Structure 1
Amino acid sequence: MAELWSLPAHALVAGYAAREFTPSEVLESVLGRCDAINPSINAVIARDDAAARRMARASDARWGAGKPLSDLDGVPVSIKDNLLMAGLPATWGNRGLRDNVPAHDELPVARLRAGGAVLFAKTNVPELTVQGYTDNLLHGPTGLPFAPELTPGGSSGGAVAAVAAGIGPLALCTDGGGSIRRPAAHAGLFGLKPGAGRIPRGAGFPAILGAFEVAGPIGRDARDVETMFRWLGSSVETATTAPRRILYARHFAGQPVDPKILRASDGAAEELRRLGHEVVARDTFDVLAGIDAIWPVISTAGVAWLCDSDARINETAGEAVQAMARAGRALSARDYAGALVAIEALRLDYQRAMAGFDLLMTPAIAAFSWPREKTHPEVIDGQPVGPRGHAVFTAFANALGLPAMTLPLAAPPGGLPCGVQLVGMQGADELLLQIARSWPEAR
């Protein structure tokens, strides 16, 4: 029999129902896995084993009585460190919040607890979750389980490293500019950024990215990601997937992409065609280039506001955050309003460009994982790039409030995994999940 820590959530629930094993036994297997591998990857930064065991024993009793609370009852789930969970530190990767232990759960965390999920750990993030790699002065860098010297990206780097390592089958994360989708690609996982408003937020840290940032699930199995989304959000049933017309953009505005990632993405387009979808490929898609001027305004203004509002954060923040705060302070209200106006113009341009298509497909990442102590790859396909050069494909979906999902692509022998991103129109979260369910069989 496979190790319990290696099983997907739906297999755990089936085992509980058949009385093959209990939530307590699964939790001990996951905690043992964490003890064995976390020292090398630094994915989990806080645990409360006693509280987790109490949750697991309560789930044992519910399954024994045949009265589980949900399809997540007894499933170990980790929580990203920028989300509040009662009884465990919520540090946001900042030294000034080292001793910040909330007494309440943020809304999506409370929803998981209400469903009987075993909330057992917090996972590492870059400071204030505004970087595309995972390192901070409080907890240090995170590495991938199959390549501990390499970054899993960010900001959900700790979460994807944990799930990929078998430290829980699911993680609750956030995505403000690609923070679910890019790390999921680096780790070979499924990651869903829900559309705006689909998963309620509140009772957490200040929303410095506004409506850009949403909560969503990451998992090794698409069915598990769908189960978690449906429990957390206002989900509706939709018809089975009919053939869709998909626009496949290989580049955005000619920005560089690793050739191996492009080849893998081309293969994914062929897989979608074999599934019956029509895929129209374009080498470059220029309509979204404006996001490069929008996202920095929103993010740096938010960081400046937060640092000026909380002395604990301002006095202890690392240089990268301080630089963002300085840039944000140099902005005016007119700059911020201009960014909001530009978002609406981008929305209209995107709708026009997507006329006749149901979905947009892109590579999820422009570069493979890089050394975990570095902020970003400096060169992609022979071209120098800045800090967001690896992240060109994802932020527009946040700005427009669109659902988007990473489908993993298997690593070639001796290589690293990557993924493709599917972006739907408003309300198409379920369509993305339906396509994802077919993805393991397609590959």
Structure 2
Amino acid sequence: MSGPLWRRSAADLVAAYAAGETTPDAILAAVLGRLDAVNGAINAVIALDREGATAAAAASTARWRAGRALGPMDGVPWTIKDNILVKDLPAVWGSPLFADHVPTRDESPVARLRAAGAIILGKTNVPEFTVQGFTDNAVFGPTRNPWNLATTPGGSSGGAVAAVASGIGPLALCTDGGGSIRRPAAHAGLIGFKPSTGMIERSHGFPEILHDFEVAGPIGRTVADIDSAMAILGGASWPASAPEAGPKRILHIRSFAGAPVDPEISASVAAAAARFSELGHQVETIDAFDLAEFANDVWPVISRAGVAWLLDQYPDHAGRVGQAALDMAAGVRDASATDYLGALIAIGQAKQRFAELFEGHDLMLTPAIAALAWPIGATHPPTIDGQPVGPRGHAVFTVFANALGIPAVTLPSAPAAAGSRIGFQLCGRRGSDRALLAVAAAYEAISPPLPWPEI
């Protein structure tokens, strides 16, 4: 194994354990050393279980030496997003409202990782209630993008991508309720996977304020690691074998409903689309696409209703919730149950339209982000390509996949001239998760290895 141990992928680690070249003890020491060196600059990990991780690494080392390893995650360090519950670690959800909350059991995806021998390092930072597209909160402060410490890694999985991009573990368990895995992964130059709704069962967690539109999923540096992670997280739901990544009919969409996209992002994603043509796929490019606009119309109703419901459960929340969450809740007070039902009906109608679209296309390819990473302290970029945009102007490409329940993966494409990371998104039919990753793996195979930021 060449290079620092903390740079190894999960697959490399398991191969090295099997060959006796290193041990989970040694890997944990390297990853913790990396965390101690960089976390102060990026503020990615906000709760560390050094003692628990050390015990887990020792147990894993003993299993590998005895030839009784539990599988492809045994001895692999993971971080867990702070809206997913981990036994005996704080679960703050980015809010003073939960500043003293310490769960007594693991949420089910975490329990599956533990049972597979994974080493749980700690929790990663999030915005309050994980409903913002940047990562900052009143409890822990902002997380910084490892590629440019003056910028945000996006949200709500900003702490997770900052950790993985910096070498604090090869994998992170996260959630995606409207792009919260895919957009930060793009901003950090990583791979982020949002599985189909229902692929990863969740229980014993925080209230589902985004209903089942929010799903759990992994962020990592290689498609192989994502696939291995999904075999654990998805359990029996995950297909036993990967399908062939034969030629696909790919619809490359440059813009949703004419919304502005940074020109460097457009050019980077167009170059990625061209590479799929080189791989033998049939790529059709269109400049504008209106079918996904329903999601950006209905999502404010759903997310605001979720926050309002949550705050209603805590009548004493005054002074313990940030203004952004209060504003979200206030924004739905004048809405009615018919507005929420109307949103659900619109989603149902969109599912029918997209079913027809997928009769003529196998995959959709879009930008994952509409704007490059913006400065710390700002909630969103105020303009994109010279046009003023609102708080979700940077996020127009992702939420439709949550509404439809379909799988989507973000892959890195060529960075901007000044170094900002860029990513594109591939989406497939519901249930085509592993077939989607097979296509992603073929693209990855002709791409250069992911670089490391200098921190």
Report the TM range for the smaller structure's normalisation: over 0.9
1:235 aligns with 2:234: no
Equivalent in the alignment of 2:361: 357
1:157-179 deviation per Cα after TM superposition (whole angstroms, max 9, x unaligned): 00000000000000000000000
3-state DSSP of counterpart to 1:174: strand
Contact 2:152 2:375 in 1 (8 A): yes
Residue from 439, 443, 449 that aligns with 1:439: 443
Q: Distance in 1 between matches of 2:343 and 2:214?
A: 16
Equivalent in the alignment of 1:30: 31
Task: State how 1:325-404 maps to structure 2 within 5 Å.
Answer: 325-404=329-408
Q: Distance in 1 between matches of 2:5 and 2:242?
A: 33
Equivalent in the alignment of 1:428: 432
1:162-205 deviation per Cα after TM superposition (whole angstroms, max 9, x unaligned): 00000000000000000000000000000000000001111100
Q: Distance in 1 between matches of 2:97 and 2:343?
A: 30
Counterpart amino acid of 2:337?
A
Task: State how 1:34-433 maps to structure 2 within 5 Å.
Answer: 34-233=35-234, 234-236=237-239, 237-311=241-315, 313=317, 315-412=319-416, 414-433=418-437
Please say which of residues 308-317 and 138-147 is displaced more in the overlay: 308-317
1:418, distance to aligned residue in structure 2 (A): 0.7
Q: Distance in 1 between matches of 2:56 and 2:314?
A: 34
Normalised TM-score (structure 2) = 0.96
Counterpart amino acid of 1:19?
G
1:314, distance to aligned residue in structure 2 (A): 5.2
Counterpart amino acid of 1:77?
W
1:219, distance to aligned residue in structure 2 (A): 0.2
Please say which of residues 164-173 and 305-314 is displaced more in the overlay: 305-314
1:241, distance to aligned residue in structure 2 (A): 1.0
3-state DSSP of counterpart to 1:113: helix
Q: Distance in 2 between matches of 1:312 and 1:418?
A: 42
1:96, distance to aligned residue in structure 2 (A): 2.0
Compute the RMSD of aligned alpha carbons: 1.1
Q: Distance in 1 between matches of 2:242 and 2:440?
A: 14
1:144, distance to aligned residue in structure 2 (A): 1.1
TM-aligned CA distance change 1:388 to 1:41, over 3 Å: same
Counterpart amino acid of 1:148?
L
1:239, distance to aligned residue in structure 2 (A): 2.5
Q: Distance in 2 between matches of 1:341 and 1:262?
A: 32
Contact 2:114 2:120 in 1 (8 A): yes
1:354-413 deviation per Cα after TM superposition (whole angstroms, max 9, x unaligned): 431001110000001001211000000010000000000000000010000001114255
Q: Distance in 1 between matches of 2:322 and 2:438?
A: 41
Contact 2:49 2:120 in 1 (8 A): no
TM-aligned CA distance change 1:37 to 1:24, over 3 Å: same
Q: Distance in 2 between matches of 1:336 and 1:270?
A: 40
3-state DSSP of counterpart to 1:328: coil
Q: Distance in 2 between matches of 1:311 and 1:30?
A: 42
Counterpart amino acid of 2:153?
P
Q: Distance in 2 between matches of 1:372 and 1:343?
A: 34
1:439, distance to aligned residue in structure 2 (A): 2.4
1:290-327 deviation per Cα after TM superposition (whole angstroms, max 9, x unaligned): 11221111100000000010246554110000000111
Q: Distance in 1 between matches of 2:356 and 2:388?
A: 32
1:48-95 deviation per Cα after TM superposition (whole angstroms, max 9, x unaligned): 101110010000111011111120000000000000000110000001
Counterpart amino acid of 1:416?
S
Contact 1:95 1:313 in 2 (8 A): no
Equivalent in the alignment of 2:450: none
3-state DSSP of counterpart to 1:108: helix
Matched positions, count: 443
Equivalent in the alignment of 2:16: 15
1:149, distance to aligned residue in structure 2 (A): 1.1
Q: Distance in 1 between matches of 2:26 and 2:272?
A: 38
TM-aligned CA distance change 1:313 to 1:175, over 3 Å: farther
Contact 1:302 1:328 in 2 (8 A): no
1:94-140 deviation per Cα after TM superposition (whole angstroms, max 9, x unaligned): 01211111110000010000000000110000000000000001110
3-state DSSP of counterpart to 2:331: helix
5+ residue gaps, structure 1, are none
Equivalent in the alignment of 2:451: none
3-state DSSP of counterpart to 2:192: strand
Contact 1:308 1:314 in 2 (8 A): no
Q: Distance in 1 between matches of 2:318 and 2:34?
A: 36
